[in-house]
Structures are given as structure tokens and as C-alpha cells.
């Protein structure tokens, strides 16, 4: 299972939100590159970079941070937040993204998402399917759709999606454990690789997700607040 560090960017700084609430923001570091280099030094190879400004505004804003990290580290970066157009994808891949995670667009413009899936390949396009009360959320978690998370993932798997990144919004940033039961449901979808996110607090949580069959696990606030040290992650990596 891949261990993936999360880095949420707002106004160029590393921050974390609680349950996706922009008013509940904690700033951890003003220099994302320093944070990325420290992660790399401890053996982390994968970074999930979230453009919170872009997610809220519906247009990518922090691709410069992506470019800086991609060009100055060996981290394999996937980018999410505010991706709405062909130009956005071209910009992100030219800035060094290894993968991009598309969430809102898969709900609001499924034909465009499927076009990207075909054009760039399912290895480079991750389906973002974040949920609250089992309903898929969009627009930086500000809106909730009528789509059930399992049905949503099953329908896109039939269209060729390989990777799905899922966050239980109620768990995100709360440090009270992931939604193991829902993730165990998701991994039963044949051919779908689940990247689990939200609520991971300990090495034991990571191992439980691995044993459940997750392809990847994203760790964010637990790193920044020392619940899981970079030394512990280095050993796991």
C-alpha cells in the first residue's frame, strides 16, 4: 500500500481544515517546499497536493506550488482542487503533476471527465469521490449531491476508472479514525484501487487500511500535529 502525505494549500501556505470548513483553518507552515523536502528526506515518495483556493473558486490557483515542489524534489505529486477545463489539465501536467484528482467535474460534467480519462489514461486521472453521510460532495465539500458513494464508484469503474480517492468529510481533520466500514465496502468493487483519506491518526490505522485492501492511504493532520511522526512513516515506507 502506498503511503501518501497530504498538503493542503491556501494562499501559498500549508494549512488544514476541520471537516472541510474554511473558517476552521490552521496554518502549519508558510513554505510548502520546505515541508515537502522534509517529507522526502524521511522516505515519503508520494504527495497529495490540494489547492483549497482553487476548490472554493472553481479555478486552479496554486499550480505554482506544484511546479516548485515537482521541480525541486523527487516526490510524485497528485494535484486536486479547482480542475474544470482542458487548460487546467495541460497546466498541471506541464507543471509536473504525476496524477490529477478530479472530483466535482465527475459529478457536474461526467462526459468531460470521461473524455479526460480516455485522453490521458486511467493511470493519470484519479476519481475524487469525497462523501458526507454516504453522499458524494462537490465544490470543495461545500455542496452535497444525491449520489450514493458506492453506486457512484461502481458506475465509474464500469467506464474504466482505476483509481478512486475517497474522504469521509465527517472524519477529515478530526483525528478520530477512518471510516473503515465504508472503505471495506468500496474495496469489494472489482478492479478499483482505493486511496483512503480522512481521520487517520496512528500507524495502526494505516495497517488496518492496508489489511482491508486499500491501494493507498493519505495522512495529513496527523503528520503536522505529530500524532504520526515522519520517523514512523519512514519505517512504514
Catalytic residue numbers read: 8, 130
Region of residue 137 (phi > 0: left; psi between -120 and 50: alpha; otherwise: beta):
beta
Q: Give the strand pairing for 125-128 and 13-18.
A: unpaired
Rg (CA), the chain: 16
Give the residue from 161, 211, 166, 216 showing the smallest Cα distance to 190: 161
Buried-exposed string 214-228: b where 16+ CB fall within 10 A, e elsewhere: bbbbbbbbbbbeebb
Amino acid at each position: 500500500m502506498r503511503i501518501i502525505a497530504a498538503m493542503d494549500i491556501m494562499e501559498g501556505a500549508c494549512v488544514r481544515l476541520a471537516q472541510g470548513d474554511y473558517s476552521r483553518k490552521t496554518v502549519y507552515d508558510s513554505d510548502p517546499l520546505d515541508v515537502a523536502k522534509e517529507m522526502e528526506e524521511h522516505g515519503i515518495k508520494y504527495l497529495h497536493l490540494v489547492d483549497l483556493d482553487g476548490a472554493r473558486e472553481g479555478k486552479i490557483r496554486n499550480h505554482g506550488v506544484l511546479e516548485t515542489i515537482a521541480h525541486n524534489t523527487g516526490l510524485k505529486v497528485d494535484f486536486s482542487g479547482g480542475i474544470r477545463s482542458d487548460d487546467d489539465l495541460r497546466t498541471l501536467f506541464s507543471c509536473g503533476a504525476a496524477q490529477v484528482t478530479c472530483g466535482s467535474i465527475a459529478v457536474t460534467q461526467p462526459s468531460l471527465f470521461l473524455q479526460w480519462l480516455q485522453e490521458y489514461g486511467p493511470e493519470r486521472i484519479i476519481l475524487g469521490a469525497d462523501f458526507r453521510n454516504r453522499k458524494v460532495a462537490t465544490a470543495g465539500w461545500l455542496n452535497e449531491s444525491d449520489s450514493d458513494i458506492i453506486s457512484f464508484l461502481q458506475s465509474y469503474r464500469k467506464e474504466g476508472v482505476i483509481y478512486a480517492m475517497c474522504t469521509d468529510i465527517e472524519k477529515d481533520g478530526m483525528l478520530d479514525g477512518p471510516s473503515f466500514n465504508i472503505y471495506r465496502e468500496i474495496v469489494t468493487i472489482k478492479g478499483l484501487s482505493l486511496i483512503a483519506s480522512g481521520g487517520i491518526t496512528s500507524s495502526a490505522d494505516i495497517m488496518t487500511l492496508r489489511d482491508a485492501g486499500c491501494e493507498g492511504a493519505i495522512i495529513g493532520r496527523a503528520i503536522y500535529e505529530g500524532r504520526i511522526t515522519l520517523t514512523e512513516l519512514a519505517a512504514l515506507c
